Structure 1
Amino acid sequence: MEIVREVARKNAAVIFTKSWCCMCHSMKALLYELGASPAVYELDQHVNGPQMEWGLRALGCCPVVPVVFIGGALVGSAEDIISLHVDGSLKHMLINAKAIWL
């Protein structure tokens, strides 16, 4: 779990994904479209992927991917991100975390 928290603290926006996951691809595309350049950790291709996956599970992430952290805080899964985008608060979260600038 500590490796996940460390990664989240060091980056304004982080997304944990798997390379074959279509929802992961969609969440990355959404963040890019909003102007963010999140740190992307493909758990199935990263050397510490299994440890990160266990860390995400320990934090209560289910499903494990995609999972987004903004400003060091766990924001949630694809469903959470889409809800925040629809109500307009995702962009504000990214701005406040300095993941995007206007």
Structure 2
Amino acid sequence: MHRIITVLAGVLALGACATTPTHRIDFLNQPVEVAIARYGQPDTVLDMPDGRRQYQWRKPRTDRVGQQIIRETCRHTIYARWNESANDWTLQSRRPTRTCP
């Protein structure tokens, strides 16, 4: 009986890993290449007045509300700071902020 419970617990744990949303990637203190590998090349890169750099990706989104189809463009934004020791931009967000729910 103990073996069956252990196997079931293992299967449930693996199932939870398989269903974990991918937007929960922790980008904090990672090089910007980590976000680019996840989302592709950003649509916009802006240097901010405070020295940070903003990376933004646009993603189309379609929702159905009753008989109506709603199409919109969501923006995913991540900020980074220059890291002298790494000689690269280091991300400051655990996950991107989004303009769509």
TM-score, normalised relative to structure 2: 0.27
Higher relative contact order (CA 8 A, sep 6+): 1
Higher helix share: 1
